[in-house]
Amino acid sequence: MNQIFAKANSRIEEVLHEKVRWRWIIWIFTIQGVFSYFTLKQDAILALKMDLPPLIIWLIIMGFLYGCVSNLIICYLIKLTGKLFNAEGSYKNILKSISLAYRPHLYTIVLIIIHLSIAHYFESSIIQNNMIALVVLMLVLKTSIGALAIWTLVLLVRNLMVVQNLTIGKTILNYIVALILNIPTHYLLISEL
């Protein structure tokens, strides 16, 4: 386990010395936005009577809006609240570290598309004849999405620890305070999108 974290720490150090790659950050924030938006509004999304390709495009657009706005604000709030904990690290380094932590969501998006595909074609006779297989597959998909989300959170805390040079406790507190300050923005984005 220590080897994994040592390798990951060297990777975050490399990323911190690179220039900000805005296209990459926006893409990763969009993917994280798709994950968050899908997780928060899953029932409403599955209830939409749309064909699958337009539904996926719509979800990506909503993910872009939600992910970019909320993550750019949360990064700023992490930087701002970090001052309470004597944290180091620039806004750009926080952006880079969070975008690196969100990389597991690349796999999450594939699982969400599979989930949507299964839900979309649920009414077909092939799937209805294999209900047990469908339930097991959906359980595996949801468990995998959850496991990737937990791994992303672990990476997020570890990356912020490195960037802000804080202990794990202060890093978690800093992140929680930033999330609490972000509640109005989050509420506005979720209720309006």
Task: Name the residue among 187, 178, 181 with its Cα closest to residue 75.
Answer: 178
Distances (CA, A) of 166 to 43, 71, 85, 159, 170: 38, 21, 8, 10, 6
Say how far apart CA 145 and CA 143 lie, in whole Å: 5
CA triple 41-46-51, angle to 5 deg: 125
18's CB contacts (< 8 A; 6+ apart) are: 96
What's the pLDDT at 116? 87
What's the pLDDT at 150? 95
- Tell me the pLDDT of the chain (193 aa) as tens digits: 556 556 666 777 777 778 888 999 999 999 999 999 998 888 787 777 778 888 899 999 999 999 999 999 999 999 999 999 999 989 999 999 999 999 999 999 999 999 888 877 775 555 566 777 778 888 999 999 999 999 999 999 999 999 999 999 999 999 999 999 999 988 888 876 6
What's the pLDDT at 85? 92
User: What is the separation, in whole angstroms, between the first and last Cα of the chain?
Assistant: 40
What's the pLDDT at 129? 66
* Number of domains within the chain: 1
One-letter amino acid for residue 183 of the chain: I
What's the pLDDT at 33? 93
- Domain extent at residue 143: 2-192
What's the pLDDT at 14? 78
What's the pLDDT at 128? 61
What's the pLDDT at 123? 54
DSSP letters for 131-178: HHHHHHHHHHHHHHHHHHHHHHHHHHHHHHHHHHT--HHHHHHHHHHH
**C-alpha count within 13 angstroms, C-beta hemisphere, residue 28:** 19
pTM of the model: 0.86
